[in-house]
Amino acid sequence: MTRKPQAFVLDSGKDEPKLKTAGTRTRIAFEPEPPQQELAVVPPSSASARPRGMGWGALLISALMALVSLWAGLAITRLVEDFFARSPTLGWLVLAVAALAGLAAGAIIIREIWGLLRLNKIEGLQEQAARAINMDEQQSARNVEQGLITLYGGRKDLAWPMKEFRSLSGDIIDPKDRILLADRLLMEPLDEAAHRIIARRARRVTLLTTVTPAAALDILFVASQNLGLLREIAALYGGRPSTLATFKLARMVVTHLAVTGGLALSDSLIQHLVGKGLLGRLSARFGEGAVNGILTSRIGLAAMDVCRPIPGRSPAREALGKLLREVVSFGPKDKDNEPREPQPGNTAEP
Amino acid sequence: MNLNDILDGTRLAAGGLRDFASGLVSPTLRLGVTGLSRSGKTVFITAFVHALLKQARLPVFEAHARGRISRCYLEPQPDDDLPRFSYERHVETLTDMDRQWPEGTRRISQLRLTIEYEPQGLIARNLHGGKLHIDIVDYPGEWLLDLPLMSQTYAQWSAATVSASRTAPRASHAGEWHGFLSTMKGDAPADEQHVLRAAELFTAYLARCRADDVALSTLPPGRFLMPGDLAGSPMLSFAPLDITPGHEPAAGSLAALMARRYDAYVAKVVKPFFFGHFARLDRQIVLVDVLSALNAGPAAVNDLRSALTGVMDSFRIGANSLVSNVLGRRIERVLFAATKADLLHHASHDRLEAILRVLVDEAVRKAEFSGATHDVTALSAIRATREATVTRGKEQLPCITGIPQAGQEIGTTSFDGETEAAIFPGDLPTEPGEALDGALEGQLKFVRFRPPLLKDVTFPHIRLDRAVEFLIGDRFT
């Protein structure tokens, strides 16, 4: 059946507009307006970056890798044969050692894959949780609930909140409320722990930068401390930070910092104040240390955003207040109370 | 603006000033539990207080779930001229051997619940040390219907009432009164016996329209149906006449007498009720019994909608400003709740909420426009049922199970109040407009259940915690 083009005249009085053709069974249903609430935002992931095609370079590297592993296989086979030629006992011994090495290599590969899968899973949970919060969607909320239970079910530090969370699964609770409940019960203790980790690492970076004699050395320190920080935070939120997963995570964090770079202004202002300003006057090294410490805490906050299975609903960004607080609370202790917000970093180049 | 408006404004301001002063030392939150008769006000208040007193499971109520509430108790209510809400008696009715719902409310009553909590804010810590009083007023829902009368003259009300009574389904119940109405002439000299007889027949007509099978809602004046302590008072002896909205009665005529009594009713009954209890609310929950109206058919649903629209028009809703904080607060949070959500499987709650949204759309829009926070939810303060799925052949029916009240029936099955049953009440429409236009005729039947057994000394509920969090959750700073 073809449908002719047609128009429906709306009767817009003080009521919601209705169709003017009263009496007939034609009805109009307006799409609900988007609710006025703060939406949960999923941190942009590396997956959303433009996918790179399979280039010649990648082909070259893969081919070279294949050659190397073939060569290694050949070399090991030869080695084992040589030893068998000399004495069977030695041959068996070498074979056993080679098998052990193979087993370890296999385990490492499985662990890497496992770690990457975990990261993907957390990303998926974030997306579903955001949908549950923003659109009040029942199915997503249930999926997130299941996901959280598999993720944290065996954790000793979360045993108590987990028990409480599980006990609520039979209640009739709206999807959005269910996710916010999970956020309060499960995420908050983890957030506190994450803040402590970030504060510790940031202080360490400051101290190390201040006391290192050579400028080249502190780059090394800062890099290793930050990688360590990423791994610690990922592990805290249930990730499996293997080598590849950590690199992927680092890329996601950098992307996140780049995308949320809207506050670069306040960032440079802090640097100005801290680095070249007051602290810088006192001691140039300490000024640099402070800047590095702030950078580290930024990276930590971004890592939290990326690793947290439930996206944090960041409050309105009070740029100036936060800036000042950050400068003041740079001392020991206070980092714990710092609001968790994505922060841009000055080295954020994807 | 006439003298009356100025007087009302002054009353508001005076009350507001008093509240502001006392609120500085002992913060008080006036919770308005609004709802037409049988919408479940008494049950909601009882369940609300019971849940807080007995530390029920309220996971979504954050201050409670975090363990920041240290103590809840009842205090003597602040107004000495009001009876106390008999909370204990209602709980007893609900929990004794033959578990019944509380009877309809016949008079106004008040309760003060005090919550002690660990304060976080600077002011809360130093000024009042984390104590919040919650004042709740219970009253017969019929009285709420009077609020729109404050803005109507006798002639306007008369004309509207008479013309409404000539439409279906009202006309079929108004026969006797209509017969008498045609003999009354507005210009005839006043005759007391005439007036009394008219009021009597009019009251009978209102009562008939309220019965379960008709279930209409727009039936003012409310005191005719629930006179409280005014039974027999001359203020209640008037009735509408068949006159035009702009009618000017001659002195000494029947219409003039009626108009005088109507005005007295508005000035001495309606306004004190409104200004005493509704004009200074902080938070409001509007309870709507959508399911009973759906049971009775589209006419009842449409009538419920117009009644709610009229009632909600009287409230001062909106975000508070510096001035309104001192001189008469506005209602800054409104929760529209479809009660008795336990008579439905929870998968249908979204649809129930959608229907409620259509019923209160005008009030919702007003709340949106004025900056008040609002929300729509389906709730059951005391949950009388459990959920189950019945599979018959390839068909799966989401059901609710419980003990239906004696005398309830569905199809050919009737219940004795002892046996448990699984009920499939029918599918609510995906498109809420269908509830209003009669497309559902005979497809829905909601059965009333007896109150549930207590579970660890608390009542089971559906989304009561969400309602509590929305209504008072932000005050525990």
Q: Which residues of A touch B462 (CB under 8 A)?
A: 172
Q: Which residues of B touch A171 (CB under 8 A)?
A: 57, 59
Instruction: Give the burial string for B293-308 (b: 16+ CB within 10 Å, else e).
Output: bbbbbbbbbbbbbbbb
Among A258-262, A324-328, B84-88, which range has the highest average pLDDT?
Answer: B84-88
Predicted local distance difference test score (pLDDT) of residue A318: 35
Tell me if B431 and A27 make a contact (CB, 8 A cut-off): yes
Round to whole Å and give the CA distance between A153 and A82.
51
Which of the 8 DSSP states describes residue A184? I
Burial class (CB within 10 angstroms; exposed 0-12, middle 13-18, buried 19+) of B409: exposed
Q: Which amino acid is at B352?
A: L
Alpha carbon distances (Å) from B374 to B144, B325, B477: 20, 19, 20
| Structural domain contains residue A20 | no
Q: Does B319 touch chain A (CB under 8 A)?
A: no
Chain B stretch 392-411, residues whose beta carbon is closer than 8 A to a beta carbon of chain A: none
Q: Does B280 touch chain A (CB under 8 A)?
A: no
Radius of gyration of chain B (CA): 23
Q: Does A33 touch chain B (CB under 8 A)?
A: no
What token pair was written down for B444?
Answer: 């829905």
Q: Does B427 touch chain A (CB under 8 A)?
A: no
Predicted local distance difference test score (pLDDT) of residue B74: 94
Q: Pick A303 or A313 by higher pLDDT.
A: A303
The residue in chain A having the minimum alpha-carbon distance to the alpha carbon of residue B377 is A174
Among candidates A16, A168, A174 on the partner chain, residue whose Cβ is nearest the Cβ of B466: A174
pLDDT at A337 over 60: no
Instruction: Give the burial string for A317-331 (b: 16+ CB within 10 Å, else e).
Output: beeeebbeebbebbe
Q: Calculate how close chain B gets to A177, using CA atoms only, in Å.
A: 7
Round to whole Å and give the CA distance between A272 and B135.
54
Among B1-10, B22-31, B65-74, which range has the highest average pLDDT?
Answer: B65-74
Predicted local distance difference test score (pLDDT) of residue A276: 58
Q: Does B375 touch chain A (CB under 8 A)?
A: no
Q: Calculate how close chain A gets to B362, using CA atoms only, in Å.
A: 7
Q: Which amino acid is at A211?
A: V
- For the segment B237-256, the average pLDDT, to the nearest whole number, is 86
Q: Does A27 touch chain B (CB under 8 A)?
A: yes
The residue in chain B having the minimum alpha-carbon distance to the alpha carbon of residue A166 is B59
Domains and CATH numbers, chain B: 3-144+277-383+457-475 (3.40.50.300), 145-272 (no CATH), 386-435 (no CATH)
What token pair was written down for A242?
Answer: 């293997």
Q: Which residues of A touch B369 (CB under 8 A)?
A: none
Let me know: does A258 contact A49? Beta carbons within 8 Å: no
Among candidates B62, B365, B433 on the partner chain, residue whose Cβ is nearest the Cβ of A27: B433
What is the secondary structure of A124-145 as a DSSP string?
Answer: HHHHHHHHHHHH--HHHHHHHH
Tell me if A171 and B59 make a contact (CB, 8 A cut-off): yes
Q: Does B358 touch chain A (CB under 8 A)?
A: no
- For the segment B276-286, the average pLDDT, to the nearest whole number, is 85
Predicted local distance difference test score (pLDDT) of residue A330: 46
Predicted local distance difference test score (pLDDT) of residue A328: 43
Question: What is the count of residue pairs from A and B with beta carbons less than 8 Å apart?
Answer: 30
Among A213-227, B267-281, B329-343, which range has the highest average pLDDT?
Answer: B329-343
- For the segment B256-278, the average pLDDT, to the nearest whole number, is 89
The residue in chain A having the minimum alpha-carbon distance to the alpha carbon of residue B375 is A35
Q: Which residues of A touch B437 (CB under 8 A)?
A: 27
pLDDT single digits (tens) A198-220: 888 888 888 888 888 777 888 88
Res. B90 pLDDT band, cuts 50 70 90: very high
pLDDT single digits (tens) B190-217: 888 888 888 989 999 998 888 877 788 8
Predicted local distance difference test score (pLDDT) of residue B472: 93
Among candidates B431, B433, B466 on the partner chain, residue whose Cβ is nearest the Cβ of A177: B466
Tell me if A173 and B60 make a contact (CB, 8 A cut-off): yes
Predicted local distance difference test score (pLDDT) of residue A193: 87
Predicted local distance difference test score (pLDDT) of residue A281: 63
Round to whole Å and give the CA distance between A145 and B12.
49
| Structural domain contains residue A109 | no
**ipTM here:** 0.71
What token pair was written down for A119?
Answer: 């990261």
- For the segment A113-117, the average pLDDT, to the nearest whole number, is 91
* Residue range of the domain that includes A203: 187-337
Q: Best residue in B57, B58, B60 to probe A by mutation, most A CBs within 10 Å?
A: B60
Res. A272 pLDDT band, cuts 50 70 90: low
Q: Does A38 touch chain B (CB under 8 A)?
A: no
Q: Calculate how close chain A gets to B472, using CA atoms only, in Å.
A: 16
Q: Does B438 touch chain A (CB under 8 A)?
A: no
Share the mean pLDDT of chain A.
76
The residue in chain A having the minimum alpha-carbon distance to the alpha carbon of residue B345 is A172
| Structural domain contains residue A205 | yes
Tell me if A184 and B62 make a contact (CB, 8 A cut-off): yes
* CA-wise closest residue to A330 among A293, A278, A282, A288: A293
CB atoms within 10 A of CB B40: 25
The residue in chain B having the minimum alpha-carbon distance to the alpha carbon of residue A37 is B373
Predicted local distance difference test score (pLDDT) of residue A60: 93
Alpha carbon distances (Å) from A59 to A54, A63, B468: 7, 6, 62
Predicted local distance difference test score (pLDDT) of residue A44: 60
Tell me if A177 and B62 make a contact (CB, 8 A cut-off): no
Res. B386 pLDDT band, cuts 50 70 90: confident
The residue in chain A having the minimum alpha-carbon distance to the alpha carbon of residue B342 is A172
Q: Does A135 touch chain B (CB under 8 A)?
A: no
Backbone dihedral angles phi then psi of residue A3, each to the nearest 5 degrees: -110, 125
Among candidates A16, A27, A168 on the partner chain, residue whose Cβ is nearest the Cβ of B59: A168
pLDDT single digits (tens) B180-197: 888 888 788 888 888 888
Instruction: Give the burial string for B238-264 (b: 16+ CB within 10 Å, else e).
Output: bbbbbbeeebebeeebbbbbbbebbee
| Structural domain contains residue A219 | yes
Res. A147 pLDDT band, cuts 50 70 90: very high
Among candidates A29, A172, A181 on the partner chain, residue whose Cβ is nearest the Cβ of B463: A172
CB atoms within 10 A of CB B317: 22
The residue in chain B having the minimum alpha-carbon distance to the alpha carbon of residue A165 is B59
Predicted local distance difference test score (pLDDT) of residue B67: 86
Tell me if A177 and B60 make a contact (CB, 8 A cut-off): yes
pLDDT at B314 over 90: no
pLDDT single digits (tens) B125-146: 776 678 899 999 888 888 888 8
Three-class secondary structure of residue A220 per DSSP = helix
Among candidates A15, A16, A172 on the partner chain, residue whose Cβ is nearest the Cβ of B462: A172
Predicted local distance difference test score (pLDDT) of residue A53: 63
Predicted local distance difference test score (pLDDT) of residue A70: 94
| Structural domain contains residue A82 | no
Predicted local distance difference test score (pLDDT) of residue A19: 56
Tell me if B59 and A16 make a contact (CB, 8 A cut-off): no
Predicted local distance difference test score (pLDDT) of residue A45: 55
Round to whole Å and give the CA distance between A68 and B40.
78
| Structural domain contains residue A315 | yes
pLDDT at A118 over 80: yes
Tell me if B361 and A16 make a contact (CB, 8 A cut-off): yes
pTM: 0.79
Q: How many domains does chain A have?
A: 1
pLDDT at B337 over 90: yes
Share the mean pLDDT of chain B.
86
Q: Does B431 touch chain A (CB under 8 A)?
A: yes
| Structural domain contains residue A218 | yes
Res. B45 pLDDT band, cuts 50 70 90: very high
Question: How would you write chain B as a 3-class SS string?
Answer: CCHHHHHHHHHHHHHHHHHHHHHHHCCEEEEEEEECCCCCHHHHHHHHHHHHHCCCCCCCCHHHHCCCEEEEEEECCCCCCCCECCHHHHHHHHHCCCCCCCCCCCCCEEEEEEEEECCCCHHHHHHHCCEEEEEEEECCHHHHHHHHHHHCCHHHHHHHHHHHHCCCCCHHHCHHHHHHHCCCCCCCECCHHHHHHHHHHHHHHHHHHHCCCCCCCCCCCHHHHCCHHHCCCHHHCCCCCCCCCCCCCCCCEHHHHHHHHHHHHHHHHHHHHHHHHCCCCCEEEEEECHHHHHHHCHHHHHHHHHHHHHHHCCCCECCCCHHHHHCCCCECEEEEEECCHHHCCHHHHHHHHHHHHHHCHHHHHHHHHHCCEEEEEECECCCCCEEEEEEECCEEEEEEEECECCCCEECCEECCCCCCEEECCCCCCCCHHHHCCCCCCCCCCCCCECCCCCECCECCCECHHHHHHHHHHHHCC
| Structural domain contains residue A78 | no
The residue in chain A having the minimum alpha-carbon distance to the alpha carbon of residue B460 is A171
Predicted local distance difference test score (pLDDT) of residue B311: 86
First to last CA, chain B: 41
* CA-wise closest residue to B290 among B211, B343, B250, B327: B343
Let me know: does A225 contact A297? Beta carbons within 8 Å: no
Tell me if B361 and A172 make a contact (CB, 8 A cut-off): no
Res. B380 pLDDT band, cuts 50 70 90: very high
Round to whole Å and give the CA distance between B167 and B128.
57
Q: Which residues of B touch A180 (CB under 8 A)?
A: 60
